[in-house]
Amino acid sequence: MEMKPKPWAQRAALWGPVLLWMGLIFYLSSLSSVPLPQTFPGIDKVAHLGAYSILGFFIFRALRGSGARFRTAAFVAVIAGSLYGASDEWHQSFVPGRDVELGDWLADTAGAALAILPGAWIYGRD
């Protein structure tokens, strides 16, 4: 006999990673400085790209798992990632030692967009 997961458990499995990752980004944005190895100029942009590609992937995964079509999931994941990046930059404007950078937000948006590539490969297109 196969047991079906409960709807709340399915939603938690899909959306939990999104919320946890957003919380981690918010926490790191609350720090006066994020400990990044200064291996090359622009390492912070690479960190933004990576963090938001993970966020974009989690959003895309949650949407596809909730039944959204590929184009809808891709569009919403990129827009949501970009908007969260913009709110993250605004949040940083209130943190001592941090400032708002257009380049960070562009890296956030690019990261969310790049996440669609592995998402399409894993979850398919329709």
The per-residue pLDDT for range 58-105, each reduced to its tens digit, is: 999 999 999 999 999 999 999 999 999 999 999 999 999 998 999 999
- Model's pTM, two decimal places? 0.88
The answer to whether the CB of 59 falls within 8 A of the CB of 78 is no
Domain segments of the chain: what residues? 45-126
C-alpha dihedral (66, 72, 78, 81), degrees to nearest 10: -40
The answer to whether the CB of 28 falls within 8 A of the CB of 34 is yes
The per-residue pLDDT for range 18-40, each reduced to its tens digit, is: 999 999 999 999 999 887 777 87
Least Cα distance to 78 among 30, 116, 47 occurs for 116
